Structure 1
């Protein structure tokens, strides 16, 4: 037995040494077409510093009928909250695939899974580089495998269930992405209910979460909700005949997971599509169109009402720091690094690592007037693309620490 143990240990050590040697001796070039069941991809010159001003594209193809599973083993790119400078994009296809994520800094995502047998990686660097780039491994997997890592698939029967890997025997694994694409006949809609639900809790569902989208792809503008914690979301109804449910777990804490059920319903069934789960009430206010009358900007610029009486009439309520502010036409386009979200509504929130940001259009550039680098409370409406819209009648004020308590009270207010 000792001999067998020593032999096994030596075999493992040899394997580890071979992998280490392979990863550190392989010459990584800028992009390429890779057709294989598995492989290793690294940024140009890895583990040396990657070159500036480059755009490298890798196209992965695994055998027909399989999906691509990609895991980053190492990532070190110039860090930026919005990944604007150096970044790696991962797409679930070669031509018009859905973007599965954009990554920079040292944030290592969980396993990324394509819907088909193709995946594309694109790495972009600007004039200033910082870091050793990335190293990732990929492999082919069966799309409906219910093992440790893989889950998801296409659901087109009139009713059915979906659940996290390992349900109900044990917690879901760390570092997985599951996408269920539910397709009903054209004249029907889809109802989704969660029977049990326990996903790592976070106020903004930044880590492990379930997102539900109208249509067949991940599109923040069409997101119905984002859910985490241990309370099952209320029933969800699709607008049309397709829904995409995506579950994502990061590389740390896990929980029991969930089991959900869906069924097709006739289109005339009354729907009450929910606002995203970080708010408690449905959106009743219509978004403000970008085309607005000049008269809107001619009224006197004066803040009306209080935090309290503007809270319920606003589609979104956030606090944040203005990081970019650009004048275009008579409007100001700002990017806000989020401090806190009190009411998310339909607002699209981008995430890079643990930093969140959003885009807001101030319709009248001087009302309210905001400056880069300062902190504000923003209350307003949302357009069809998920951007915040602030008109003169909306509530914006400088954010100070003393406002925090009042905002926390409002967060629990029922409108």
Structure 2
């Protein structure tokens, strides 16, 4: 990667390191290896960065890996624009610098420290996603704009025989004709590699749905130190590599559509009235959570909602996504008006779960507004033993 230059490889721990990179020697290597304690993650912050500037960072650059050189590459950096805080997925991080024998800058100064995996604050984001379906979003979503100077990488890994389908529900990233400042880049595989880049996106129009070539996708988000915007929320799910044509064709005919619509219409004509109590509905529900409705989308008479979770009292088979310290879940309300839930409000939600891990709410499911005073009875129910 370097042209007649040298590599500096550092395994970082809870201290500072400095590197002055105006070198003239060839093939000189220096390394320092440390780790943060097991159970912690590494947080790296560049305090100063001055390397030879190149749009593709081909000559002098710093690579940051989660774990080691064969692990996920979090990013490659050059020039003078510092990236945001970078977070490893384990207790190890590798920083590797490469420089050629020509133009040089004055180097970089970075600080690294140990942090709790789920107590890293709004500035941190990214991670490894392995559940069959899930969501991820920019820091601060949806309450306020994403912060300046942030770098996030989500590594989505499916089983070997499956592919990954990726869709962005909401999307608002600083607009630029060439997406030079703030952007989302999606790559086939588990590393940032321009040869495997599917696309680079910015502006306020969501990208078209993306299907991976194999069982891994890497989604990178980067914001510079100037303008910011609302950000985005993306959803993914695993799917088989090949769908047999004998099973795929009937979904395009009208017969199955008719057979599925009629029961739904009849279902939604029922009187919408909550029955029973928290106690009487607890055991019959597969999951019980409290949370805030952050997104709602109506499709074919049903309501698809994203819930920012306040507390989990009964998880069941519900797929819960985690981004930093924030947890969320997807809920399908079969009849959009029953029970009626609205964005920005807090609810107690009890329901069943689909095969993909999404919560399903019927008109007779128990949903009610959440008040702080409800916590006492919910905590008592959490310790209740339900008879199968």
TM-score, L = length of structure 1: 0.50
- How far apart are the structure 2 equivalents of 1:213 and 1:245? 7
Match of 1:218 in 2: 192
Change (3 A) 1:135 1:263: same
- How far apart are the structure 2 equivalents of 1:237 and 1:148? 29
Q: Is the 8 A contact 2:153 2:220 kept in 1?
A: yes
Unaligned residue ranges in structure 2 (runs of 5+): 1-6, 245-388
- The one of 191, 210, 215 aligned to 1:236: 210
Task: Determine helix, strand or coil for the equivalent of 1:243.
Answer: strand
1:266 matched to 2:240? The reply is yes
Change (3 A) 1:268 1:97: closer
Unaligned residue ranges in structure 1 (runs of 5+): 1-29, 271-415
Q: Structure 1 residue 102: deviation in Å? A: 4.1
- The one of 146, 154, 163 aligned to 1:172: 146
Q: Structure 1 residue 196: deviation in Å? A: 0.6
Q: How does 1:233-382 map to 2 (within 5 A)?
A: 233-269=207-243
Structure with the larger RCO, 1 or 2 (CA within 8 Å, 6+ apart): 2
Task: Determine helix, strand or coil for the equivalent of 2:213.
Answer: coil
Deviations 1:25-54 (A, max 9, x none): xxxxx9786664x3211115xxxx855325
- The one of 164, 170, 174 aligned to 1:200: 174
1:111 matched to 2:85? The reply is yes
Q: Structure 1 residue 197: deviation in Å? A: 0.5
Q: Is the 8 A contact 2:10 2:95 kept in 1?
A: no
Match of 2:134 in 1: 160
- How far apart are the structure 1 equivalents of 2:66 and 2:88? 5
- How far apart are the structure 1 equivalents of 2:241 and 2:101? 53
Q: Structure 1 residue 204: deviation in Å? A: 1.6
Q: Is the 8 A contact 1:144 1:151 kept in 2?
A: no
- How far apart are the structure 1 equivalents of 2:204 and 2:153? 20
Change (3 A) 1:170 1:177: same
- The one of 6, 17, 32 aligned to 1:41: 17
- How far apart are the structure 2 equivalents of 1:249 and 1:215? 22
Match of 1:150 in 2: 124
Q: Structure 1 residue 96: deviation in Å? A: 2.2
Q: Is the 8 A contact 2:57 2:77 kept in 1?
A: yes
Q: Which piece of structure 1 moves more, 129-138 or 230-239?
A: 129-138
Q: Is the 8 A contact 1:31 1:58 kept in 2?
A: no
Q: Which piece of structure 1 moves more, 105-114 or 234-243?
A: 105-114
Q: Structure 1 residue 147: deviation in Å? A: 2.4
Q: Is the 8 A contact 1:70 1:111 kept in 2?
A: yes
Match of 1:141 in 2: 115
Q: Is the 8 A contact 1:209 1:227 kept in 2?
A: yes
- Count of residues in correspondence between the two structures: 237
Kindly report the root-mean-square deviation, in angstroms, between the aligned alpha carbons of the 2 structures: 3.1
Q: Structure 1 residue 253: deviation in Å? A: 1.4
TM-score, L = length of structure 2: 0.53
Q: Is the 8 A contact 1:69 1:113 kept in 2?
A: yes
Match of 2:299 in 1: none
- The one of 52, 65, 68 aligned to 2:24: 52
Q: Is the 8 A contact 2:86 2:124 kept in 1?
A: no
